[in-house]
Amino acid sequence: MYEFEEQLDYDSNIPEAFREVQICLNSFVEINYETMLGIISNTRVTEADIRHYHSKVIDIIRNNPPLESLPRYLREGREDYLWYSEFYDDAGKDLFRQYSKFTAPTIEINKVNYTKELTKIDLPYFKELVDLVSLERLCIKYEKLFPTPSKDTAKEKLPTPKEIITQKKLPTPKSNIVKEAKAKPKVTKRSYQPKLSKEQYTLLADCIEKIRLFRLKVKISEIKKLLAGKLAEPLQVTNQKSLVYLFDQLMDSGHIKDTWVSVADGNKDFISFRTEGNKERYGDNTHYINMQQLLNCRNRNKKERITGLEDIEDLIEQMRENSAE
């Protein structure tokens, strides 16, 4: 399956300032993490210790909700976990602007100047990020010592940060009568932050239909729901490379947000076309097109022919002229 043969440079579309934030964060985390390891190096780490570190992670997230998605991306091994997580979306536009103007320290961070230099970083949540990532790395390291839960702890499975926060918000029952919950769990989706006029939505819909991007024809209302993060059912994609090229062109033109790939991955907005090859790969299960596939398509688009290339470029030009009117 060639979609997974190439490994993509995740940094390729990350603005320089945000790259600097990640590099700076990593440098502080490394010192903090090594300090934590040094403190516990002469002790025998137990499952109780891991639970203690995990509870600290939960406390940080509970007090700083925008950090909630970070552990998942960190555990997936994403080098730029901060950019691809929901942190910048959840923290708001003001924080995004502050981080976008970040200038990294010119001095190398070490154990001697760690505290002094950390106080100079005037970014909201930065210190909490350092502590969260350091603790999460500690949990990841020592969880490997206990791959199988013991009988005593099997019933006390560690809750995820999201589960803890959700439990915290549950209302207190008004009576002792337990009613069966009939409502489906609410799925929170993120917006692509579209900036399109009514005419531009029409142009986009016409282009999508012309290049047969999806198996079924989509209405303008469905495209609006997709970009607003309100799509009820995923769209079946006929050509993933064309999808990525179209959305990248919309991104470069400022019509959708830079991190649209992360949004599509989290929302599960797209599924693979049911070709015979895909049936062999995924069986009867619905296969959502994930971030790795989208990024690999972006990489392949630099070297291979793209179906509908001319139509997409004409669309962007027409949208540009429409904006100028």
Query: Quick one: pLDDT at residue 122?
Result: 92
Burial of 107 (C-beta count, 10 Å sphere; 0-12/13-18/19+): exposed
Range of the domain at 267: 198-324
Q: What is the pLDDT of residue 118?
A: 95
pLDDT of residue 49: 85
Q: What is the pLDDT of residue 205?
A: 95
Residue 5: predicted pLDDT = 36
Judgement on whether residues 164 and 15 belong to the same structural domain of the protein: yes
pLDDT of 283 reads: 59
Q: How far apart are CA 175 and CA 79, in angstroms?
A: 48
If asked whether residues 79 and 147 sit together in one domain, one would say yes
> How far apart, in Å, are the Cα atoms of 32 and each of 183, 204, 288?
44, 48, 37
Among 251, 220, 85, CA closest to 162: 85
Looking at the fold, whether 269 and 162 belong to one and the same domain comes out as: no
Confidence at residue 8, expressed as pLDDT on a 0 to 100 scale = 38
The pLDDT assigned to 143 comes to 84
How many domains, the chain?
2
Q: For the chain, list residues with pLDDT below 50.
A: 1-12, 149-157, 168, 172, 174-182, 184-185
DSSP H or E run through 114: helix 114-120
90 close to 124: Cβ distance less than 8 angstroms: no
Run of H or E residues at 272: strand 270-272
pTM: 0.53
Residues 158, 269, single domain; the answer is no
- 125 CB contacts (<8 Å, ≥6 apart)? 64, 66, 67, 87, 91, 95
Last residue of a domain, one of 151, 169, 187: 169
Q: What's the pLDDT score for residue 13?
A: 61
User: Which pLDDT score is estimated for 175?
Assistant: 45
Q: What gap in Å lies between CA 82 and CA 26, rounded to an integer?
A: 10
Q: Within this chain, do residues 292 and 145 fall inside the same structural domain, yes or no?
A: no
* 221 occurs within a structural domain: yes
204 and 103 in one domain? no
Tell whether 234 is covered by a domain.
yes
